[in-house]
Structure 1
């Protein structure tokens, strides 16, 4: 079989499967969970326990805000709508609770616009409860909507039991799904995403800084949210843009605020410097030849029918392998565009990519006389 250059380093016929080469942890993060997403393509660049659901703490509030953003977009809410602070919101999420709070006054009216800043910038549990009660009647009902929407968005690991991220037995989501949620927030709601980059917010005379350690410290950082519970450690969902490229990172299970800050900055720098998205195969690129049985041509070229990109550590680029997988020889007639196999792309530390291999040009079947000669072994 014949291949064009550019990443094509291995071929295979009648291949039943491929194995993913082993690779030492390229990031070597101290976080228990870590994930890096390319914010332009949505491709995964790195994963450490990325698909394993964990306790997200206040990173939950990204989903809380997402539900609000959807209702704003659909016209079911307005930024100027005002909601009353209930006793539940005041007691469970206010100053007396000892947790993150917006310092809302009992019985006061607060606009959606201010509540969003209380949720995103101040991580106010009281603001989350006010929103949940106003939209769904209770925290439990709102959490059910959060879970339903997350599942509809493809965030299969997500199960929310409250809008705040306060501990609950079955409140879980994976790093991969948090990264995807951040990606959806950024791409679908640019008009509201800017709130995540605001460095402080003052309510009731109390100024609170944004807890995101990336803001003002990493070039291009513009979001998203931190989280912490004693049981799950310190975590962060972060995003930044550099030279027109966006990266999204998720970390969780760090031991201290200082660890979260230093590791978040290190991982974000690595996300830009050490991880790449490369174009491995172009649309219509010829990837090899296949033998043809009973055809007017002895061989036919096979090609890709779509662009294939790989997201991986820079050190793994040289080890990308592309294999053409088909069962041959192919029996004529063959029609251009027919799928006859697979193109499998592998590299260390990267999940394999599989895309169809198609016939590049039609091949007619030999006529009856020619086929008879083949049957008699007089020709090939």
Structure 2
């Protein structure tokens, strides 16, 4: 016997209500889904494998969505890979690396003192951070110890701190800008020109990615005592705590600096440095489309660099590499080698194939001073030149007396 299912008299009402709310929910979900879909379309999800391209040398290098980038080996200054490295672009707050560097060099020389007071003038004062300004938020006419103001530049990226230091060190911001440009010329920053200390927009205020890598290299090398400031994650002044904008400091323990930057014209910029297994790399990203993008692109560069390159020492300083014949000297020859430690970065796996070839200057004649350049040594791997270094005399050779020179000359006639 079959029983028909019993239908509640309330069921039609329940179904109608469910349909009504279901349709409303579907419409609401669709309305919210559109912005998410648009956002997803404008910023695709990052691929697990970074995009690559082929450079002029036929190498596979990262393909990054920005206007310019550079990856440099710190020790040698070798550019491992780059894109538009020498194009002058708005550097935004990457400018502040030059501001901090000049202050650090003043501290190093003793011209500046860590605790000397720096005044926050009306022209430098940050009026409440309006317009998206980066500020240390020093009160008007307040006097702040120089080291605190330096941290306000490096960690807070304070425009107010940058201007106050510029006026303190250079007498005026224009005077400080002249100092910045003089230092840039000294460092060989051929594609950079500074108009202000903070990186505020100006059509003449430009820097290239390569130049900024050179500046970062100078900070790490010449301001070693102060470089740890660039790794500090936060700084508190006047009860206001601000975090370092370099996101890599929080996610990659091998990263220890340097500086972020952003304006509408400059886009999102980042100069960073990392040290892994004794090898330090410097990366510069200019005009990325977001803070996340500049951090992600820097990670790509560091991972690519450390995966594809290694340090090599083709020859040891002071070790004899060749013996050079010397005419008219108290000794007939002199040992030749390199005076300074010689290191370079080579493609990974080529260390065993690195070879050196020596070329000596012809007709060497005494006197020869110790350390005088008497040739060169070239390093190659698989037939490709990796680099070269000057070959120097490892000892001095005095000029022989008159009669000894005559004897050597006559002897030379019979030995040719």
Report whether the alignment pairs 1:218 with 2:252.
Answer: yes
Structure with the higher strand share, 1 or 2: 1
Deviation for aligned residue 1:67: 1.3
Give me the TM-score of the superposition, normalised by structure 2: 0.68
Structure with the higher helix share, 1 or 2: 2
- SS of corresponding position for 1:171: coil
Deviation for aligned residue 1:198: 1.1
Match of 1:142 in 2: 176
- SS of corresponding position for 2:248: coil
Q: What are the residue-to-residue correspondences of 1:66-215 with 2, within 5 Å?
A: 66-90=101-125, 95-215=129-249
Q: Deviations over 1:273-330 (max 9, x none)?
A: 322221224457787999xxxxxxxxx99965455433233266688675666799x8
Q: Deviations over 1:158-177 (max 9, x none)?
A: 32110001122222233333
Report whether the alignment pairs 1:54 with 2:89.
Answer: yes
State the alpha-carbon separation in 2 of the partners of residues 90 and 146 from structure 1.
Answer: 21
Q: Deviations over 1:59-113 (max 9, x none)?
A: 111110111112222333323222332222225x751242212223223332222
Match of 1:44 in 2: 78
* Structure 2: stretches of 5+ with no match in the other structure: 1-54, 325-332, 398-404
Deviation for aligned residue 1:262: 0.9
- SS of corresponding position for 1:63: helix
* Structure 1: stretches of 5+ with no match in the other structure: 1-20, 291-299, 375-379
Over 3 Å counting, the alpha-carbon distance change for 1:55 and 1:288 in structure 2 is same
Greater Rg over alpha carbons, structure: 2
Deviation for aligned residue 1:257: 1.2
State the alpha-carbon separation in 1 of the partners of residues 201 and 358 from structure 2.
Answer: 49
State the alpha-carbon separation in 2 of the partners of residues 288 and 56 from structure 1.
Answer: 48
Over 3 Å counting, the alpha-carbon distance change for 1:256 and 1:321 in structure 2 is farther
Over 3 Å counting, the alpha-carbon distance change for 1:341 and 1:74 in structure 2 is closer
- SS of corresponding position for 2:61: coil
Over 3 Å counting, the alpha-carbon distance change for 1:97 and 1:340 in structure 2 is same
State the alpha-carbon separation in 2 of the partners of residues 331 and 114 from structure 1.
Answer: 57
Match of 2:62 in 1: 28
Match of 1:234 in 2: 268
- SS of corresponding position for 2:149: helix
Over 3 Å counting, the alpha-carbon distance change for 1:205 and 1:317 in structure 2 is same
Higher relative contact order (CA 8 A, sep 6+): 1
Match of 1:312 in 2: 346
Over 3 Å counting, the alpha-carbon distance change for 1:284 and 1:241 in structure 2 is closer
